[in-house]
Amino acid sequence: MIRLVSHIDAEELFKLVDENRAYLRRWLPWLDHNKTLDDTREFIKTSLRDYAEQGSMIHVVEDAGRVCGICGFDSINRTIKAGFIGYWISQQSQGKGLITMACGALETLGFDRLGLHKLEIHIAQENVSSRAVAERLNYQNTGTILDAEWLYDHYVNHVIYCKLNPEGAS
């Protein structure tokens, strides 16, 4: 279902982004920085370096053996033991519960293996589908950040969802 992103994913991942560019553009601010296969290779290289330095952990989401999205800890703050989750999925794969399952797997990974105290997901206020993922997984809505992100030609507010480790990791 999810596995750590790898250099072998570059072509498939770039093709997926390219085919879903218009769909993803509504909520993701980085598309103009990923226009070539080399851009995707650099993203993977940086992700693996950050993983080695324990600063992030980016996974591909697979469905029937094919990459269909990304889900991971965009950043990990070791000082406060917090993981910040980000995700996206192709338009064709949306609505199958794949991101909900992937985020559930990240929870287990974050709390059980990494010993994190809390997980956060920052979601554009109007992104109803993405917010539904956090709500299905019983994340608590802890507030809104106004003008949290610039999306090409406008700002969007972010709703912050949080879940604390049920085991109370310290």
Spatial neighbors of 152 by CB under 8 A, at least 6 apart, are: 25, 29, 32
**Residues 14-42: pLDDT tens digits?**
999 999 999 999 999 999 999 999 999 99
| Confidence bin at 167 (pLDDT 50/70/90) | confident
Could you give the CA distance from residue 48 to residue 74 in angstroms, rounded to a whole number? 12
Sorted by where each starts, the structural domains of the chain and their CATH numbers stand as 2-116 (3.40.630.30)
pTM of the model: 0.93
Q: Are strands 2-4 and 140-150 parallel, antiparallel or unpaired?
A: unpaired
**Residues 122-145: pLDDT tens digits?**
999 999 999 999 999 999 999 999
